[in-house]
């Protein structure tokens, strides 16, 4: 990696590629992408997040969804509802799912990612203000 | 995301949002922008002025104004200075700092570099518990990534400022979270505190001026520098600006990590964010401040959360543990739980803390076992206050708080233990017993089948009996009996 040697270099770096794998910034080529953000902090892992992430990946592979990818984030604070996953799609508000089981994880991939339907039972009402 | 949400996330803004193992995610959310802004458009004094005006106070417990601490460290003349991060997080049940370090490690690195620039230090150390392996891993990775991009190390972003960061692992002693003990520990000495002054900002690690802040305190810094102190002050109260992160636990439905503006009533946290008490029961008290704090009774739930209000109720903000209790929790038992912890963790250097806490614990133990005397109640209060007044460090100065505050608000519960040999919550094992009510028992055998020590006998459809000698008072029969035929008393 090349070192950034000025404030402008930092700004340019940010504008180029930053946050793209996680869909924190979105370009034209990202329009059809989906990111599943699984909470994999200690609390999430203790609740079984790794198994859920594996299940999501298996299902994505099985269905050959080339536009979907998984990232691991930290704790979102909703520890009571772990394991949880956030479904990010460009231009749409995120959907947060909690209390995940392997079955629910497979449901999310099939229903939400393929058919665009919510998996109602696992939707978490998330109310936080990030100013 | 909602504008009117009770939760406002400043410190936690990236937690659960970015991938903490990917520096590009942090930079995408304006990471390292505050550092660049400071290095290229602000003098160190301007950085300190901004932190001072923001009114940010330490989130590690005592609430000391961060800007004033930084200013003192800046004014202390020395070639070598240090920036320390206190990531020891010793309060039982607290996990705010762990989540921050795991979920947003770069934000702590950026804040420490900012502090280094402001006070004139080139070296920083994060004192992190070895029991936090994921936090350690993410920190190590973050340091390597930041160095590779020239955001840490020599000549940051091509400028004159250099700052190096390393980790030091704490071995899990509560007292090592106290700043002077922490520095002794880093120097390879015993984790024992020393008298202050001199304060670390004047003479700290290796006798050099040292700024030490808590993880959450640092987590606010980049936002303050990037957005300005006025922005920060729109949240929270006049004397306690900003937000506070709490680890919400106990009898609420939604346990987890919450961040609310200072001044939010306790009730909002418990009812709106926490989703109320489990099983529709009633809240009895809220414990804040962990082993240094106290229990706030339910009638004070409308108290706004800020440093002064909580202290006024004999508790304290502490680092952010918040345990919600209901009728099933015994207040004497809670005080004993915390005193057991602090008596165990006392380093032993000063007499009031080493011996005084033992005596407090003995009194509390007597009371919970039905051996208490009425004069113990007064002595608890007197001795507790003597320890607070005379202990060497913050451990002893605050360890009697759980006992003093429960005695203040729940004296009747203490008296029930002493006078009536009764535990109203039914949790003090020596004071509860279980008895099968002959007129109600249907002989269904549920209790006998569920008793873990098989001390209940009786034929089918005949009244059962508990062998009191073998009963361990676990209460399983009481909760399982379908006919309410088991009395607790
Ligand atoms: C017994 C004891 C334990 C402490 N444990 C911690 C801790 O785990 N984390 C922490 O940040 N501060 C802890 N403190 C407070 C520190 O001594 C110090 O005040 C704090 O790190 C200062 O940072 P702040 O101004 O940002 O809050 C503890 C204090 C005492 C007396
Ligand atoms: S401060 Fe450690 S024993 Fe008193």
| CATH number of the domain where residue B389 is located | 1.20.1440.230
pLDDT at B67: 98
> Among A126-130, B180-184, B272-276, B454-458, where is mean pLDDT lowest?
A126-130
Nearest to A77 among B6, B12, B27 (CB): B12
Nearest-CA distance B149 → chain A (Å): 4
Choosing from B205, B233, B261, the residue where a domain stops is B233
Task: Identify whether residues B188 and B76 lie together within a single domain.
Answer: yes
Range of the domain at A84: 29-122
Domain assignment of residue B165, yes or no: yes
Task: Identify whether residues B14 and B49 lie together within a single domain.
Answer: yes
Domain assignment of residue B426, yes or no: no
Domain assignment of residue A21, yes or no: no
Domain assignment of residue B428, yes or no: no
d(CA B359, CA B352): 10
Say if the Cβ atoms of A127 and B254 lie within 8 Å.
Answer: no
Task: Identify whether residues B456 and B413 lie together within a single domain.
Answer: no
Choosing from B202, B233, B264, the residue where a domain stops is B233
Domain assignment of residue B199, yes or no: yes
- Number of structural domains in chain B: 4
Task: Identify whether residues B70 and B174 lie together within a single domain.
Answer: yes
Q: Is B404 on the interface with A (CB under 8 A)?
A: no
Task: Round the average pLDDT of chain A to a whole number and report it.
Answer: 95
Residues of A in CB contact (< 8 Å) with B are 1, 3-7, 9-10, 13-14, 17-22, 24-25, 37, 39, 41-43, 45, 71-81, 86, 93, 126-131
Task: Identify whether residues B229 and B366 lie together within a single domain.
Answer: no
Nearest-CA distance B241 → chain A (Å): 15
pLDDT at B1: 40
Domain assignment of residue A5, yes or no: no
pLDDT at B370 over 50: yes
d(CA B329, ligand 1 centre) in Å: 28
> Which domain CATH number covers B477?
3.30.70.20
pLDDT > 70 fraction of chain B, expressed in percent and rounded: 99
pLDDT, tens digit, 9 for 90 and up, residues B208-235: 999 999 999 999 999 999 999 999 999 9
B24, B134, B272, best to mutate vs chain A, most A CBs in 10 Å: B24
Contacts of A24 in chain B (CB under 8 A): 17-18, 25, 28-29
Task: Identify whether residues B316 and B350 lie together within a single domain.
Answer: no
Answer yes or no: are the C-beta atoms of B305 and B317 closer than 8 Å.
Answer: yes
Q: Is B301 on the interface with A (CB under 8 A)?
A: no
- For chain B, positions 88-107, list CB contacts with chain A under 8 A: 95, 98-99, 102-104
Domain assignment of residue A2, yes or no: no
Ligand 2 pocket check for B354: Cβ under 6 Å:
yes
Domain assignment of residue A22, yes or no: no
Ligand 2 pocket check for B31: Cβ under 6 Å:
no
d(CA B134, CA B95): 13
Task: Identify whether residues B54 and B183 lie together within a single domain.
Answer: yes
Domain assignment of residue B427, yes or no: no
Domain assignment of residue B225, yes or no: yes
More confident residue, B432 or B71: B71
**Parallel/antiparallel/unpaired status of strands B486-488 and B434-436:** antiparallel
Task: Identify whether residues B95 and B114 lie together within a single domain.
Answer: yes
Angle (nearest 5°) at CA B76 between B74 and B79: 90
CB within 8 A of B386, min separation 6: which ones? B352, B356
Instruction: Grade residue A16 by pLDDT with cuts at 50, 70 and 90.
Output: confident
pLDDT at B3 over 60: no
Q: Which ligand is nearest to the CA of B64?
A: 1
Domain assignment of residue B298, yes or no: yes
Q: Is B20 on the interface with A (CB under 8 A)?
A: yes
Domain assignment of residue B331, yes or no: no
Q: H or E element: which one contains B46? A: helix B44-54
- The three-class DSSP label of residue B431 is helix
Nearest to B148 among A1, A71, A130 (CB): A1
Task: Identify whether residues B122 and B225 lie together within a single domain.
Answer: yes
Ligand 2 pocket check for B173: Cβ under 6 Å:
no
Task: Identify whether residues B311 and B365 lie together within a single domain.
Answer: no
Domain assignment of residue A45, yes or no: yes
d(CA B446, ligand 1 centre) in Å: 50
Ligand 1 pocket check for B174: Cβ under 6 Å:
yes
Ligand 1 atom nearest to B88, measured from its CA: 8
B29: tokens are 């959310």
Domain assignment of residue A20, yes or no: no
More confident residue, B398 or B93: B398
Choosing from B167, B198, B233, the residue where a domain stops is B233
Domain assignment of residue A130, yes or no: no
User: How many Cα atoms are found within 13 Å in the side-chain-facing hemisphere of A39?
Assistant: 29
A39, A49, A53, A77, best to mutate vs chain B, most B CBs in 10 Å: A77
Total Cβ atoms within 10 A of residue B470: 11
User: How many Cα atoms are found within 13 Å in the side-chain-facing hemisphere of B19?
Assistant: 20
Say if the Cβ atoms of B18 and A18 lie within 8 Å.
Answer: no
Q: How far lies B69's CA from each of B97, B116, B119, B250, in Å?
A: 21, 13, 10, 35
Q: Which of B102, B18, B479 is nearest to A41 (CA)?
A: B102
> Which domain CATH number covers A41?
3.40.30.10
Q: Where does B257-356 have alpha helices with state H?
A: 266-267, 307-312, 331-345, 351
Nearest-CA residue for ligand 1 atom 9 is: B89
What does the pLDDT average to over B302-306? 94
Q: Is B25 on the interface with A (CB under 8 A)?
A: yes
Ligand 1 atom nearest to B90, measured from its CA: 8
pLDDT at B251: 95
Domain assignment of residue A11, yes or no: no
- Number of structural domains in chain A: 1
pLDDT, tens digit, 9 for 90 and up, residues B151-179: 999 999 999 999 999 999 999 899 999 99
d(CA B221, CA B413): 44
d(CA B323, CA B331): 12
Range of the domain at B378: 339-419
ipTM summary value: 0.96
pLDDT, tens digit, 9 for 90 and up, residues A61-118: 999 999 999 999 999 999 999 999 999 999 999 999 999 999 999 999 999 999 999 9
d(CA B392, ligand 1 centre) in Å: 15
**Bridge partners for B326 per DSSP:** B283
- The three-class DSSP label of residue B297 is strand
Task: Identify whether residues B411 and B438 lie together within a single domain.
Answer: no
Q: Is B9 on the interface with A (CB under 8 A)?
A: yes
Contacts of B14 in chain A (CB under 8 A): 74
Ligand 1 pocket check for B62: Cβ under 6 Å:
yes
Task: Identify whether residues B260 and B394 lie together within a single domain.
Answer: no
pLDDT at B398: 95
A94: alpha, beta or left? (left if phi > 0; alpha if psi -120 to 50): beta
Nearest-CA distance A21 → chain B (Å): 8
Looking at the whole model, is its pTM more than 0.80?
yes
């Amino acid at each position: 990696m090349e070192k950034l040697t000025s404030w402008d270099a930092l700004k340019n770096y940010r504008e180029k590629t930053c946050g793209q794998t996680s869909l924190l910034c979105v370009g034209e080529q990202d329009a059809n992408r989906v990111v599943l953000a699984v909470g994999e902090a200690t609390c999430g892992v203790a609740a079984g997040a790794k198994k859920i992430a594996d299940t999501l990946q298996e299902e994505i592979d099985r269905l050959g969804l080339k536009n979907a990818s998984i990232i691991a984030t930290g704790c979102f604070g909703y520890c009571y509802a772990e394991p949880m996953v956030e479904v990010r799609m460009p231009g749409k508000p995120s959907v947060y799912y909690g209390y995940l089981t392997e079955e629910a994880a497979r449901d999310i991939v099939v229903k939400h990612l393929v058919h665009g339907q919510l998996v109602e039972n696992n939707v978490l009402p998330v109310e936080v203000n990030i100013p | 995301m909602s504008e009117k949400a009770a939760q406002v996330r400043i410190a936690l803004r990236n937690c659960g949002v970015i991938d903490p193992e990917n520096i590009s995610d942090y930079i995408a959310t304006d990471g390292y922008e505050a550092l660049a802004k400071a290095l290229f458009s602000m003098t160190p004094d301007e950085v300190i002025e901004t932190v001072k005006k923001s009114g940010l106070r330490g989130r590690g417990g005592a609430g000391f104004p961060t800007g004033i601490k930084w200013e003192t460290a800046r004014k202390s003349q020395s070639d070598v200075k240090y920036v320390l991060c206190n990531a020891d997080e010793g309060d039982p049940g607290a996990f705010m700092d762990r989540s921050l370090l795991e979920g947003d490690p770069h934000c702590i690195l950026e804040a420490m570099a900012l502090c280094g620039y402001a006070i004139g230090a080139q070296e920083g150390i994060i004192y992190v518990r070895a029991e936090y392996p994921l936090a350690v891993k993410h920190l190590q990775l973050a340091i390597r990534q930041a160095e590779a991009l020239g955001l840490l190390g020599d000549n940051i972003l091509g400028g004159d400022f250099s700052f190096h960061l390393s980790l030091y692992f704490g071995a899990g002693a509560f007292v090592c979270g106290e700043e002077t003990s922490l520095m002794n520990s880093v120097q390879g000495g015993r984790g024992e505190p020393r008298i202050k002054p001199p304060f670390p900002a004047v003479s700290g690690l290796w006798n050099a001026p040292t700024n030490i802040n808590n993880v959450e305190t640092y987590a606010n810094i980049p936002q303050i520098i990037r957005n300005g102190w006025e922005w920060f002050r729109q949240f929270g109260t006049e004397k306690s600006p900003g937000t506070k992160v709490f680890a919400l636990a106990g009898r609420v439905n939604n346990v987890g990590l919450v961040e609310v503006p200072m001044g939010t009533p306790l009730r909002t946290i418990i009812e709106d964010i926490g989703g109320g008490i489990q099983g529709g029961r009633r809240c009895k008290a809220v414990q804040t401040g962990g082993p240094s704090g106290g229990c706030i009774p339910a009638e004070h739930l409308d108290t706004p959360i800020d440093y002064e209000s909580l202290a006024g109720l004999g508790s304290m903000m502490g680092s952010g543990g918040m345990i919600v209790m209901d009728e099933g929790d015994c207040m004497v038992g809670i005080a004993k739980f915390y005193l057991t912890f602090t008596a165990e963790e006392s380093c032993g250097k000063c007499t009031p803390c080493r011996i005084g806490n033992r005596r407090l614990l003995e009194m509390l133990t007597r009371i919970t076992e039905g051996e208490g005397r009425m004069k113990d109640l007064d002595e608890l209060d007197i001795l507790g206050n003597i320890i607070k007044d005379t202990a060497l460090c913050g451990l002893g100065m605050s360890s009697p708080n759980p006992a003093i505050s429960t005695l203040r608000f729940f004296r009747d519960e203490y008296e029930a233990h002493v006078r009536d040999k009764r535990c109203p919550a039914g949790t003090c094992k020596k004071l509860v017993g279980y008895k099968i009510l002959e007129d109600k028992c249907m002989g269904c055998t549920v209790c006998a089948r569920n008793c873990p020590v098989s001390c209940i006998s009786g034929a089918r459809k005949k009244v059962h009996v508990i062998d009191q000698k073998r009963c361990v008072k676990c209460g399983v029969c009481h909760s399982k009996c379908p006919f309410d035929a088991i009395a607790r008393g």
